A = this chain, B = another copy of it.
């Protein structure tokens, strides 16, 4: 799943952050990185931290102004660490991802992040359609730039995936049938009775508890066979054969 959203980093100070941002983008399926007036680029440190995402750095576009970087975009979200009193719509990363995917079919989209220390200026924000704010600890909002890119790109991928196919559960064998489960329960109960663990006075309650906990495990056929093998091996009477009936 390729995610055709541009990430724009404005006046980034630390080249390591550019590399780490490229890596974060690539893990989530984004490839379009644009740098506005980076302090140091290209840079060996950026390449080192890209850790296999240096193809994104090689293709990164360097622009001199933000307007140049997003000139072709019909929807631009600007990241802000502060909840400004400006009258822009402020979205969380999930709302931002939803807004972007609504626009993807019809236009180029971008998310813009400012310099590490100061963030985007109000002028920069004037070029954005909306603000995106990552919720943080009010006492420690020091989110690293590449970490912010990771979270924003993660939400783009999650939101897109939620519209595709639901995940299916991994199973090694078909689920056990009710009859197979019943066969196991009856076998287990017989052996536990012979071992004097189930006493007539309270066996009904105990049997129910045991059945309930195994029901919750959603056993498959292979697992029922393993459990029956274990019960047979522990049978104090030695009466467990391959054919103990339900």
The answer, yes or no, to whether A178 is at the interface (CB within 8 Å) is no
Interface residues on A, range: 35 or more
B192 near A230 with CB under 8 A, answer yes
The answer, yes or no, to whether A144 is at the interface (CB within 8 Å) is yes
Cα–Cα, bound, A53→B216 (Å): 37
Copy number of this protein in the oligomer? Answer: 2
Distance to closest chain B CB from A235 (angstroms): 8
Contacts of A210 in B (CB 8 A): 226, 230
Distance to closest chain B CB from A30 (angstroms): 9
The stretch of A63-71, A99-107, A146-154 that contacts the partner chain? A146-154
Of all chain B residues, the one with the shortest Cβ separation from A169 is B89
Cα–Cα, bound, A150→B230 (Å): 43
With A51-B142, A143-B27, A197-B229 as contacts: A217 and B223 at CB distance below 8 Å: no
A26 near B197 with CB under 8 A, answer no
The stretch of A4-12, A38-46, A80-88, A117-125 that contacts the partner chain? A80-88
Contacts of A94 in B (CB 8 A): 158
Q: Map CB proximity to B onto A7-49 as digits: 1 under 8 Å, 0 otherwise.
A: 0000000000000100110111100000000000000000000
Contact of A23 among B52, B92, B142, B167 (CB under 8 A): B142
Contact of A157 among B51, B86, B135 (CB under 8 A): B135
Given contacts A94-B158, A209-B222, 17 further A-B contacts (CB under 8 A): A24-B144, A26-B140, A52-B142, A86-B170, A86-B172, A87-B172, A87-B220, A87-B223, A92-B167, A146-B147, A147-B147, A151-B151, A191-B234, A192-B230, A197-B229, A213-B217, A214-B217
Of the A-B pairs whose beta carbons lie under 8 Å apart in the complex, a sample of 20, sorted by A's number, is A20-B147, A26-B142, A27-B142, A29-B136, A53-B142, A84-B170, A85-B172, A87-B172, A89-B169, A93-B154, A135-B158, A135-B161, A146-B147, A147-B147, A151-B151, A195-B230, A206-B226, A209-B222, A216-B216, A216-B218
